[in-house]
Copies of this chain bind each other. A is one copy, B any other.
Amino acid sequence: MFNFESDYTEGCIPEILEALQATNTEQTGGYGMDPHCDHARSLIKKAFGCENADVHFLVGGTQANMTVISSILRPHQGVLCAESGHINCHETGAVEATGHKCLALPSEDGTITAAQVEEAIVRQRDDESYEHIVQPGMVYISLPTETGTLYSKKQLSALYKVCRKYGLPLFIDGARLGYGLAAKANDLKPKDIAKLCDVFYVGGTKVGALFGEAVVILNDGLKKDFRYHIKQRGGMLAKGRLLGIQFEELFKENRYFKISKHAMDMAEQLRAAFEEKGYQFAYRPETNQLFVVLSNTQIKNLRKQFAFHTMGIIDATHSAARFVTSFMTTQEGVDALIKAL
């Protein structure tokens, strides 16, 4: 059985386990104030070319999203996002639980446009009853999106320009950022990310770590007191060094990008094979998640040998199957799947 269900079905890159072993009896201070966290911070800042950023380590994505968002918004403000955005659909209302509305914008491919954001801001501001309507206070996007699609440099630049025009911070959820940056279809460099938003996070959980996300705050106005928020929202690990050690290993020797590239190579082979055989994709096959339209019979047959999710019904006889590659996907598994098609 080869598993293409998700990018979090296994553990982590071996270097992380080795480092945990090597450091196990070291004694360090808690709560993220240790040499490993410091080193990891400097590696990340270097990789993204943002020496003045603040870097914080959180445990998971939902936690990172709600902590960042609730630290930025005032009570009467909401966060603009795609209808399909993770915060709007798959976090059990974590953002609302901190008091804020997700202001969902329609989206077919998971992205939102500069024009949509501007229109939403202006519509609220120009409404006669604007004080009775939640004020857009920031913008959230995922890169790649929940459906595996990307923003081009041009799109992201336009979006950020609108955000700056109206003074709304732009926050990028990078749960799968590595895969996005390693994609052939991508034209954004790490340093572009750090120039085209106010906060982003570098996903570890789905990209080689056991767990952990690195929040990078670029905008000076958003840095103050962020550690209080981490603690209040339950994200401050007593043995904070566990996160430091993991991100140290991920960003040593460019590993984060190398393992992402491996996953994308695997995905590329699959994409090419699906295309060659004439399969349709439910969403643009740009990153490590491929949503392929299969007949229910094909799905049934493939499931004898492969694990994968179906994500939505296309018609009476077809569904969208999702195949996900990761840092751990093997050539053997990919070959087997291609052969089985």
Residues of A bordering B, CB below 8 Å: 3, 5-6, 8-12, 14, 17, 20-21, 23-31, 59-63, 66-67, 70-71, 74-76, 78, 89-94, 96-102, 128-129, 131-135, 205-206, 210-211, 225, 227-229, 231-239, 242, 307, 309, 328
Contact = CB atoms under 8 A, between A and B. Distances in A.
B99 A97 contact: yes
A227 B9 contact: no
Nearest to A9: B27
A12 to B, nearest CB: 7
Q: Binding site of A, secondary structure by majority: helix, strand, loop or mixed? A: loop
B75 A135 contact: no
A10 B27 contact: yes
Contact of A134 (B76, B92, B233): B92
Given A76-B232, A93-B232, A133-B89, A59 B237 contact: yes
Nearest to A86: B132
Nearest to A243: B211
B24 A11 contact: yes
B96 A78 contact: yes
B94 A239 contact: no
Contact of A59 (B28, B59, B67, B309): B59
Contacts of A67: 234
Contacts of A100: 93, 96
B63 A92 contact: no
Would you list the 10 A-B pairs with minimal beta carbon distance, nearest first? A63-B234, A11-B24, A76-B228, A92-B232, A93-B134, A8-B238, A96-B101, A9-B27, A3-B27, A92-B231
B232 A97 contact: yes
Nearest to A128: B309
A10 B25 contact: yes
A25 B8 contact: no
Residue among A61, A131, A235, A242 facing the most chain B CB atoms (10 A cut-off): A131
Given A93-B134, A242-B210, A28 B9 contact: yes
